[in-house]
């Protein structure tokens, strides 16, 4: 495949000879005439090098450079300028340009710059690849059901970082990593099958923080009256997505990231209600039966999070002013962002932001989104592009100017589901793809965790349902009826509810403005 070059210059028509010369050398050139178009192209497509005119009307080269680096920090950018002023070059170098050229430039000068930068990138990719291959056996040796919960957090962190570091590298090596990730999740599923129930039945034993612990361990201790606390829950955010968000937020915040495990099923009705109540789902139903309704519509089961949080504060005898907000639509986010500073008068503000989860579900139903985000790397990039232009980032940047404490987490992640497995149950069984509850459910034992006594897993049931099944690895459940229709419809979609590292091991960050 030829290397792709994006060239942004408001006088691009005068550079046709240069472009034809480079195309004759086997390069694919995308010409644009302004910074906005350059940023838009980089949001939608991968490039190997960008040539950027420093003096363009509208958004100039330096402003464009900043936006490009926010989207693709490692993308080589060559600044082309008419000026030799030292201050301009210092600004550009501070913005992490890879090189700069003084106009007029000739085609051979451009060609030499391209070859030098591509060779440097090749060497960097080779070095990264060699480092991963050296660690391959060491990592694989840890994929054992006997590895403890701390070990699995470490494995997940390392695999995620390798996945992000190697995403522009050799495709064969990316496949090796994908296979290793799958092997890790196979062992992780066995680990959860063996250990998870003991975490619930022996809460004082050696176990990770779980969904009901989030408020007690990470939020409530900051309610000391010294500064307002903001608790943001970004629905369905994976660790790799958080790493991209974190890079954008690092300039404004000092960030400490910890981890906790979602309860099973890793789905909004269970995990998020558990977070805001500080209780397992079965205990919510016992203590507050009027706030727990069994059903299959996920949104209907999360109408009472604000009230559950209020009950949690009451049980802890915390008499603090609090607010709960949920953002489901873009206009709701914009309105909240415009008045977010008003919330600094409240001691605790919890905000649920639903867009990432919406993006996950929309990709399942949209051929356009599947085309834009055909794999994990592209979906990650799409999520980052959304965040950079979101009202959520606007809120964070407004709060960065205030003396506040911010906690950011999620209720569960999502996994790319590539393999189907048949499930058998009655007509009242749930329709969810990564977990199901119903009467006497049956499925392939290699693809699912079977919960024959939901009480042991602190899960409420509603007759006639008497069992749960939880998907492992990258499986999704399909009923035999219309099997091929649903098999094809949901293959290669992002889903949640199951027992994988991506769904269960979740980041929780504490942020303080710099």
Q: Are 348 and 447 contained in the same domain? A: no
Q: Are 226 and 355 contained in the same domain? A: yes
The reply to whether omega before 265 is within 30° of 0 (cis) is: yes
Confirm if 327 and 333 have CB atoms less than 8 A apart: yes
Q: Are 279 and 395 contained in the same domain? A: yes
Residue 251 maps to a domain: yes
Residue 134 maps to a domain: no
State the DSSP code for 254. Answer: E
In which domain, by residue range, is 245 found? 211-415+503-513
Q: Are 410 and 426 contained in the same domain? A: no
Specify the pLDDT at position 294.
Answer: 46
Specify the pLDDT at position 34.
Answer: 94
Cα separation of 193 and 215, whole Å? 26
Tell me the pLDDT tens digit for each residue of 473-512.
999 999 888 889 989 988 999 999 999 999 999 999 999 9
Averaged over 8-33, what is the pLDDT?
92
Number of domains in the chain: 4
Q: Is the pLDDT of residue 321 over 60?
A: yes
Specify the pLDDT at position 426.
Answer: 79
Cα separation of 454 and 249, whole Å? 41
Cα separation of 282 and 287, whole Å? 9
Q: Are 242 and 367 contained in the same domain? A: yes
Q: Are 309 and 432 contained in the same domain? A: no
**Phi first, then psi: what are they for 169, rounded to 5°?**
-95, -155
Q: Are 180 and 297 contained in the same domain? A: no
Using DSSP, state whether 358 is helix, strand or coil. Answer: helix
Cα separation of 282 and 389, whole Å? 39
Assign residue 92 the CATH number of its domain. 3.40.50.2300
Kindly indicate the confidence band of residue 431, based on its pLDDT and cuts at 50, 70 and 90.
confident
Using DSSP, state whether 250 is helix, strand or coil. Answer: coil
The reply to whether omega before 311 is within 30° of 0 (cis) is: no
Using DSSP, state whether 478 is helix, strand or coil. Answer: strand
Give the DSSP per-residue string, 20-71.
HHHHHTT-EEEEESSHHHHHHHHHHS--SEEEEES--SSS-HHHHHHHHHHH
Residue 136 maps to a domain: no
Cα separation of 273 and 263, whole Å? 11
Residue 470 maps to a domain: yes
Residue 137 maps to a domain: no
Averaged over 117-142, what is the pLDDT?
83
Q: Are 313 and 194 contained in the same domain? A: no
Residue 363 maps to a domain: yes
Cα separation of 489 and 88, whole Å? 53
Q: Are 296 and 310 contained in the same domain? A: yes
Averaged over 239-267, what is the pLDDT?
95
> CB-hemisphere CA count at 13 Å for 514?
8
Kindly indicate the confidence band of residue 17, based on its pLDDT and cuts at 50, 70 and 90.
very high
Show Cβ contacts of residue 216 under 8 Å, excluding neighbours closer than 6 positions. Answer: 278, 316
Cα separation of 272 and 214, whole Å? 10
**Phi first, then psi: what are they for 415, rounded to 5°?**
-125, 145
Tell me the pLDDT tens digit for each residue of 263-318.
999 999 999 999 999 999 999 999 998 888 643 344 456 778 999 999 999 999 99
Most confident stretch, 66-70, 356-360, 363-367: 66-70
Pick the last residue of a domain from 182, 201, 220.
201
Pick the last residue of a domain from 179, 201, 223.
201
Least trusted range by pLDDT, from 63-72, 236-245, 416-425:
63-72
Show Cβ contacts of residue 213 under 8 Å, excluding neighbours closer than 6 positions. Answer: 260, 278
Specify the pLDDT at position 300.
Answer: 57
**Mean pLDDT for all residues in the chain:** 89
Specify the pLDDT at position 297.
Answer: 47
The model's pTM is 0.79
Show Cβ contacts of residue 461 under 8 Å, excluding neighbours closer than 6 positions. Answer: 294, 437, 454, 468
% the chain with pLDDT above 90: 59
Q: Are 254 and 148 contained in the same domain? A: no
Cα separation of 451 and 67, whole Å? 49
Exposed e or buried b per residue across 179-193, where buried means at least 16 C-beta atoms within 10 angstroms of its C-beta: ebbeebbbbbbbbbb
Residue 128 maps to a domain: no
Q: Are 455 and 475 contained in the same domain? A: yes
Most confident stretch, 132-136, 385-389, 482-486, 501-505: 501-505
Residue 16, Cβ density class (10 Å: 0-12 exposed, 13-18 middle, ≥19 buried): exposed
Q: Are 179 and 265 contained in the same domain? A: no
Specify the pLDDT at position 296.
Answer: 38
């Amino acid at each position: 495949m030829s290397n792709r070059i994006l060239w942004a210059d408001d006088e691009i028509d005068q550079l046709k000879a240069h472009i034809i010369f480079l195309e004759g050398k086997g390069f694919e050139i995308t010409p644009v005439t302004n910074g906005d178009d350059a940023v838009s192209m980089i949001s939608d497509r991968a490039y190997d090098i960008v040539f950027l005119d420093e003096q363009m009307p509208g958004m100039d080269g330096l402003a464009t450079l900043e936006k490009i680096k926010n989207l693709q920090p490692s993308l080589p950018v060559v600044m082309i300028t008419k000026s030799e002023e030292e201050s301009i070059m210092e600004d550009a170098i501070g913005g992490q340009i890879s090189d700069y050229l003084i106009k007029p430039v000739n085609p051979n000068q451009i060609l030499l710059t391209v070859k030098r930068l591509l060779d440097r990138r090749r060497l960097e990719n080779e070095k990264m690849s060699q480092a991963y291959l050296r660690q391959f056996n060491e990592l694989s040796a840890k994929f054992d059901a006997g590895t403890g919960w701390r070990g699995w957090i470490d494995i997940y962190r390392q695999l995620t970082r390798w996945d992000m570091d190697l995403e522009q590298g050799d495709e064969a090596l990316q496949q090796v990593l994908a296979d290793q990730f799958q092997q890790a999740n196979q062992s992780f599923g066995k680990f959860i099958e063996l250990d998870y129930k003991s975490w619930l039945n022996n809460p004082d034993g050696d176990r990770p923080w779980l969904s009901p612990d989030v408020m007690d361990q990470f939020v409530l201790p900051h309610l000391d009256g010294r500064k307002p606390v903001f608790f943001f829950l970004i629905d369905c955010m994976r660790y790799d997505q958080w790493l991209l968000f974190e890079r954008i937020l690092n300039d404004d915040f000092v960030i400490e990231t910890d981890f906790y495990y979602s309860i099973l099923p890793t789905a909004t009705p269970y995990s998020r209600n558990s977070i805001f109540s500080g209780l397992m789902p079965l205990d919510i139903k016992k203590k507050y039966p009027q706030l727990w309704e069994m059903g299959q519509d996920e949104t209907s089961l999360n109408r009472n999070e604000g009230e559950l949080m209020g009950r949690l504060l009451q049980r802890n005898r915390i008499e603090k002013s609090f607010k709960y907000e949920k953002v489901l639509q873009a206009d709701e986010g914009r309105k909240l962002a415009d008045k977010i500073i008003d919330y600094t008068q409240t001691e605790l503000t919890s905000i649920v932001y639903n867009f990432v989860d919406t993006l996950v579900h929309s990709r399942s139903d949209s051929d356009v989104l599947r085309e834009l985000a055909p794999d994990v790397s592209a979906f990650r990039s799409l999520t980052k592009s959304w965040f950079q232009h979101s009202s959520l980032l606007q809120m964070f940047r407004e709060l960065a100017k205030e003396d506040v404490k911010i906690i950011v987490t999620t209720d569960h992640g999502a996994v790319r589901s590539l393999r189907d497995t048949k499930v058998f149950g009655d007509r009242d069984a749930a329709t969810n793809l990564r977990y199901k509850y119903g009467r006497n459910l049956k499925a392939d034992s290699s693809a699912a965790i079977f919960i024959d006594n939901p009480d042991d897993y602190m899960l409420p049931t509603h007759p006639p349902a008497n069992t749960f099944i939880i998907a492992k690895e990258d499986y999704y459940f399909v009923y035999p009826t219309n099997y091929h229709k649903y098999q094809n419809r949901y293959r290669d979609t992002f889903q949640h509810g199951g027992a994988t590292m991506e769904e269960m091991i979740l980041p929780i960050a504490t942020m303080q403005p710099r």
